[in-house]
Amino acid sequence: MKNLSVLGSTGSIGINVLNIVRQFPDRFQILGLAAGRNVKLFSDQILEFKPKLISVIDEGHAEQLLTMLPSEFADRIVWGNEGNVAVAALDGVEMTICAVVGAAGLLPTIGAIEAGKDIGLANKETLVVAGRLVMQKVRDNRVRLLPIDSEHSAIFQALEAGRREDVSQLILTASGGPFLHTPTEDLLKVTCDEALNHPNWSMGKKISIDSATMMNKGLEVIEAHWLFGMEPQSIRVAVHPQSIVHSLVEYQDGSVLAQLGIPDMKIPIAYALSYPERIALGLKPLNLWQCSDLEFYEPDFTRFPALRLAFEALERGGTSSAVLNAANEVAVAAFLDMRISFPQISTIVEQTMSSLENGQDLDLAGLIEADGEARKLAESLIPK
């Protein structure tokens, strides 16, 4: 029996994690749950799994949640960053699943690592903002950090076939999102609903917009750099609209190993939860005879400037990736609020990156400061 804490339990990844726990109650048990504002769904999850500790975004939502639960849960509710850290580092937990959205996942992930918990990471922003620090803490505390993103899980699996020193490059695949073939001049007119309509995956709003701009893939490039110790020039992106090949690893002898599968997030989630075992999920198997039209394209940096900006941030190092991520979170929120157009997301990120001095990424306080400065500047660039 493996004891789990799940951060972001009401999001798409968190819901899938709990589905797997339901499917394998003899293998997994929930000790801690953390969520944001969706207290209705969260209360249902709490009543079902009866965790020892639960956290919500703030005290107001904690009070609302308490009215929906029996009195026995009154002393189990915490909130805010401190609450998330407490759930992440809860005694008895063996693995913490970080599936919260954005840079909010950084502090609880660090808290879990310092408490000696293995990490199932579905929050790429943790490594985008503070990859050097986080990976050093993973080594210092001798814990395992297992990727849950489908692309990084695919690379992790393909790397099992050879020695790391024999790897020549990593190739992350990207669906291209809903606007892969949309004329560039028409991107100015796209709506939120159109941007949220991903062709292959069912995801939350923020990650769906990131997929549409391909910032999501840019963040994954930065994450792959820290996870697998590959230099930026050895990480490539291939646009693959069918989302069947989830990523590839090329070795120096010319061999290219790919991980294929149906586009279902339960596969990489289950692999992280059960590693090094594989468990039978009962999913529909991949039908290779229906995969005769797999396509691969070079990414278009003109159509998707966000991907270019992510590579530039990774090359610069320092606080550039933290600034990139913070500005993007602000810009995506503004687009979802219909305050800016779709192309302005990348424009605001680029202007923020070019306006702030690049600092060092050697301490957490400096990274948090850079994050705050970037958010403030990005917000000032949004038309009132």
DSSP-derived secondary structure for 6-51: EESTTSHHHHHHHHHHHH-TTTEEEEEEE-SS-HHHHHHHHHHH--
- Radius of gyration of the chain measured on its C-alpha atoms: 20
The strand pair at 95-98 and 2-7 is best described as: parallel
Token couple for 20 = 């797997």
Tell me the C-alpha distance between 44 and 185, whole Å.
Answer: 45
| Regions of the chain short of the pLDDT cut 50 | none
Residue ranges of E strands in 189-332: 235-239, 245-251, 256-260
pLDDT (tens digit per residue) in 272-326: 999 999 999 999 999 989 888 899 999 999 989 999 999 999 999 999 999 999 9
Q: Tell whether omega for the bond before 285 is within 30 degrees of 0, i.e. cis.
A: no
- Supply the pLDDT for residue 161: 92
From 238, 245, 240, 231, select the one nearest 169 (Cα to Cα).
Answer: 231
pLDDT at 202: 67
Report pLDDT for 201: 64
What pLDDT, on the 0 to 100 scale, is given for residue 103?
Answer: 82
CA distance 282 to 266: 11
pLDDT of residue 207: 87
CA angle 370, 106, 216 (to 5 degrees): 80
What CA–CA distance (Å, rounded) separates 378 from 348?
6
Give me the domains of the chain, ranges plus CATH numbers. 2-147 (3.40.50.720), 152-298 (no CATH), 317-384 (1.10.1740.10)
Torsion angle of C-alpha atoms 356, 358, 363, 366, degrees rounded to 10:
-20
